[in-house]
Amino acid sequence: RQEFPPGTEESTLPLSLANLKLREGPIRIEVVAGDHAVYRLGKGNVATQTFELIYDSRPPVINIVSRAHNFTRGGSGMVAYTLDEPVTGTGVVFGDYFFPAFQQPSGLYASVVAFPYNVEPKDFVPRVVAVDLAGNERQTGIYYRANNRSFRQRQLNVTDSFLAMTLPEFMHQTPAFDTPLEQYLYINREIRRENRETVAALAANTAPEPLWEGVFLQMPRASSQGLFADHRTYLYNGREIDRTVHLGHDLASTAQADVIAANHGRVIFSDNLGIYGLCIVIDHGLGVHTLYAHLSHIGVDGGQRVSRGDVIGRSGITGLAGGDHLHFEVLVSGIPVQPLEWWDATWLHNNID
């Protein structure tokens, strides 16, 4: 109960339920307000409004259903679980990373999780989190194994002929520089960063169920030219000028070779993208995407559904490419992961399907 001076039309009153010893379930809150009118023998006009609510002070119960969680640094896996009530958000979290879970027709929640290449095993401690409609949050751990992995160190020579071949494509994307090398470094650093942010932002555009079927396909009759998470040091005239990490798998065949969709999905990007040149991104559901870069031709449009093995373009040298090849990436919620796993039917069966 609270009294207000005449003329008060609005007020906010805190209402604590802490000491009422309420039971979980439906509750009713009734608000009665009377004004200062002279009617009803000076008692004023009275209004009443009732609110029917649910009192919920318990966080969701998380039941982990998947049993084997074997993660390798740079790779991925899946966690499946059930919840005992509706939630506003749920998924797997560690550090600053969050991998959303999607409820399937069976009732299970499925979260595809990445173990980023740049996270140490000691820092990879995944936990399932769920927040219910009342804002109650619960986190629970999972049984898992985090396997370490080392990555190749490579040195790449940046030649004047390479600069002369690739830089003209970027003239409209960079400020004016005094030397080709300065322009190249801007592209390799700033434009690369912007392009990575664009790709990561596509993570939200995903189906809530798996669209893929079976193992992911690799570009046929192609040899590997660059591996996932190669740590590259760039040299110019024998001097180190830059360092990057290669976040995909480079595959080379014949010039302008057919590029196929790795699995069923929906095209969510089909355009030029800076260092990637002509680029396609396909959503396979549950936050899993594949990226195809340096193409000479794009054969699909945004929003188009594609099937596993469909020809979607041709390999090329667009973007920051030194020769005709396909740069292929697998991403989980925008985080690049090891494509070799998704090309392996046994791994896919044991860790995802």
The per-residue DSSP string of 272-317 comes to E-GGG-EEEEEE-STTEEEEEEEEEEE---TT-EE-TT-EEEEEB-
Q: What is the pLDDT of residue 40?
A: 66
Backbone angles phi, psi at 165, to 5 degrees: -80, -40
Residue 227 has pLDDT above 70, yes or no: yes
Q: What angle do CA 141, 146, 147 make, to 5 degrees?
A: 170
pTM given for the model: 0.90
Helix (H) or strand (E) holding 231: strand 230-236
3-state secondary structure of 189: helix
Q: Are 90 and 108 in contact (CB under 8 A)?
A: no
Q: Grade residue 252 by pLDDT with cuts at 50, 70 and 90.
A: very high
CA contacts within 13 A on the Cβ side of 170: 30
Q: Helix H segments across 76-169?
A: 160-166
DSSP 8-state symbol, 200: H
Q: Grade residue 1 by pLDDT with cuts at 50, 70 and 90.
A: confident
Tell me the CA distances in angstroms from 196 to 162, 183, 275, one per residue in order: 23, 19, 10
Report pLDDT digits (tens) over 155-213.
999 999 999 999 999 989 999 999 999 999 999 999 999 999 999 999 999 999 999 99
Task: Give the mean model confidence (pLDDT) for residues 97-121.
Answer: 97
Q: What is the pLDDT of residue 68?
A: 85
Q: What is the pLDDT of residue 140?
A: 97
Backbone angles phi, psi at 346, to 5 degrees: -70, -45
Task: Give the mean model confidence (pLDDT) for residues 248-275.
Answer: 97
Which is nearest to 15 in space by CA: 3, 29, 4?
29
DSSP 8-state symbol, 325: B
174: Cβ–Cβ under 8 A, 6 or more apart, which residues?
Answer: 183, 186, 187, 191
Q: What is the pLDDT of residue 301?
A: 97
The one-letter amino acid code at 340 reads L
Q: What is the pLDDT of residue 214?
A: 95
C-alpha to C-alpha distance for 295 and 249, rounded to whole angstroms? 14
